[in-house]
Amino acid sequence: MTFADLHLHSRFSDGTYGPDEVVFHARRQQLAALSLTDHDTIEGCAPTAAACAGAGIEFIPGTELTAEQDGDEVHILGYCIDTGDHKLLAEISKFQAVRQDRIREIVSRLNRLGVPLTAEAVFTMANCRAPGRPHVARALVKAGLCSTLDDAFARFLKKDRPAWVPKFKMSAAEAIGLIHRADGLAILAHPGLNRTDDVIPAVVDAGLDGIECFHSKHSPSDTARYMEAAGFYRLLITGGSDCHGSSKGRPLIGTVKLPYFYVEQLKAKAARRQGQAPVPPPVSTLS
């Protein structure tokens, strides 16, 4: 049986691996296909596609958009997207500017609390266009102002802690619309992690194509419940580890192995949307 991991982060958002390292680990796990799903960016897709081509691994272009539904944060994965779509790129760059402003606001809250961190230290640490709280946490640890990433989140950065700043989010319907406009498919990421079962019907109404049923933070009963929901709503099933590299201890890549059958279903639906015959995987992944 061949397997895929359709939820991976890199240095282009809050992961620690560059494209070559993502692909190195994917190869070690004998994955036939992978998708890079960095938060609010698609910058890493081209270099990761090139690294995959060199390793005989099939690459699915992806992203993970931050959105909201009925006041709850939801993450919408976009797969098989056209990474050259101008509207998608323009909207993404707006969300990146929002993320950068939010870093400045988090830092000024930290400064008011007497924590002498600079926004520049965070931007240097992030070295990407979509900085987030994990980069603030890493900068705090590097400067010796917090002992661990968990310490930084627990003391300052978690929701309702003193340096927490809410993030402007598009609606789930807008995120799904953007992904569709870029010829992609929209999947609800890790509903078990965000505890967002209640929003599933509304997100389905907004045009959702699938649910991420397999995820490193889903229990077997979560997975069973979301598989049932996917069947009920006739949605695609996807899965991935949500590996962020080595920032949170052992890398998660390889802990969720999505049977390749589900990738075929995903590609078949994307091809139907795009009015094309489905693209077969590279020959080397079939051996």
For ligand AMP, the binding residues (CB under 6 A) are 14, 39, 132-134, 149-150, 153, 158, 167, 244
Round to whole Å and give the CA distance between 146 and 155: 9
Does 212 help bind Zn ion (rule: CB under 5 A)? no
Considering beta carbons, is residue 244 or 267 the nearer one to Zn ion? 244
Token code pair at residue 134 = 């994990």
Considering beta carbons, is residue 167 or 181 the nearer one to ligand AMP? 167
Span of 63-71, 146-154, 172-180, 194-202 interacting with Zn ion by CB under 5 A: 63-71
Min dist CB 286 to Zn ion, Å, is: 28
Min dist CB 105 to ligand AMP, Å, is: 12
Span of 56-64, 93-101, 103-111, 177-185 interacting with Zn ion by CB under 5 A: 56-64
Residues 226-265 that bind Zn ion (CB under 5 A): 242
Considering beta carbons, is residue 132 or 281 the nearer one to Zn ion? 132
Min dist CB 75 to ligand AMP, Å, is: 8
- DSSP states along 226-278: HHHHHHHHT-EEEEE--B-TTTTSS--TTSS-EEHHHHHHHHHHHHHHHTSPP
Over the range 76-92, which residues count as b (16 or more CB within 10 Å of their CB) and which as e? bbbbbbebebeebeebb
Min dist CB 9 to Zn ion, Å, is: 6
Contact between residue 218 and residue 229 where contact means Cβ atoms under 8 Å apart? no
Q: Give kind and range of the element (H or E) at residue 106.
A: helix 86-112
Q: Is 161 helix (H, G, I), strand (E, B) or coil?
A: coil
